Amino acid sequence: MKKERETLEILIANGIDKNYAKDIVLRACLSAMDDSEDIDYMDEVRKLMIRDLGDSVSSGLEILFFVGPTGSGKTTTVAKMASWLSLTVESSVGIIAADAYRAAATEQIEAFTKIMDKPCIEINDMSPAQFISDHPGMKQVLVDTQAYTSRENWSDYFTKLYDSFQNYKRKIIMVLPATGRLHNLKNMIDYFKHNDEVSLLFTKLDETDIYGEIYNIQKYSGKPISYVSFGQDVLSDFGPFKLHKWANALKMQ
């Protein structure tokens, strides 16, 4: 039992919720009992956590809605995603600035699209259908939305925006800071819990060395993790979520 107790303490020290940590340790114990050969117990814990989180990367013709709380780095992430899709995947993208309440966000997006020579509109300037019609070669349209504050203040706005693209394939990317805590994000996560087109994107990985909360949020939300952002450079510091890299970053000793 000493090994199990030590593992539980290590998981909790990494920020994993106590109940989730107990579940991981229990499943690792069962795996060890079922395996006739000697196994690396800590390696089994890592494998279970990797299997739990899963991985997904968006592809194809899509409308990607970026949603997130204030301070999550949502607008910068839109720029990073557009850069990554253009330079790494060689995909043609456009951007719609739909955060009418924050002029700085629109200015940031417009400045970036000029540098990258990408089509961009403000949501009030042109209908989404017209924008897409005017740029038929686009593979993805990235929509920067208003920051989520509360269900009451945000629901009508997002529903109207989301429905305006109902004739297209839609996905929602929930942008969450790796420095955040599950109990502060539950309201927003619950809002999207029954939407199957939601994935998670974690920002600010460079601002923390405690990565267990990523596990907690994924387990609570039930949504796959798609991408991560880990710095301030728009042209880099971004990419698909790598399960093994995340697991190796945990302090398991």
- Kindly tell me if the per-residue pLDDT of 1 is higher than 50: yes
Query: Would you say 229 and 77 are in contact if contact means Cβ atoms under 8 Å apart?
Result: yes
Structure confidence at residue 37 as a pLDDT band (50, 70, 90): low
Task: Please report how the helices 151-163 and 182-191 are oriented relative to each other, as an axis angle in degrees rounded to 10.
Answer: 40
pTM of the model: 0.76
Instruction: Please state, for a pLDDT cut of 70, what percent of the chain lies above it.
Output: 90
Instruction: Convert the pLDDT of each residue in 132-173 to its tens digit.
Output: 888 888 889 999 999 998 888 899 999 999 998 887 889 999
Model pLDDT, residue 252: 57
Instruction: Tell me the helices (H) and strands (E) count for the chain, helix number first.
Output: 10, 8
Query: Would you say 193 and 217 are in contact if contact means Cβ atoms under 8 Å apart?
Result: no
Distance CA 191, CA 17 (A): 22
- CB-count exposure of residue 28 (10 Å: 0-12, 13-18, 19+): buried
Angle at 125 between CA 175 and CA 134, to 5 degrees: 90
Distance CA 116, CA 119 (A): 9
With tokens 């945000």, the residue in question is 154
Our CA dihedral for 238, 244, 248, 252, rounded to 10 degrees, sits at 140
- Kindly tell me if the per-residue pLDDT of 117 is higher than 70: yes
Listed by start position, the domains of the chain span 2-53, 62-249
CATH number listed for the domain at residues 62-249: 3.40.50.300
Provide the β-strand partners of residue 93: 140
Distance CA 234, CA 214 (A): 22
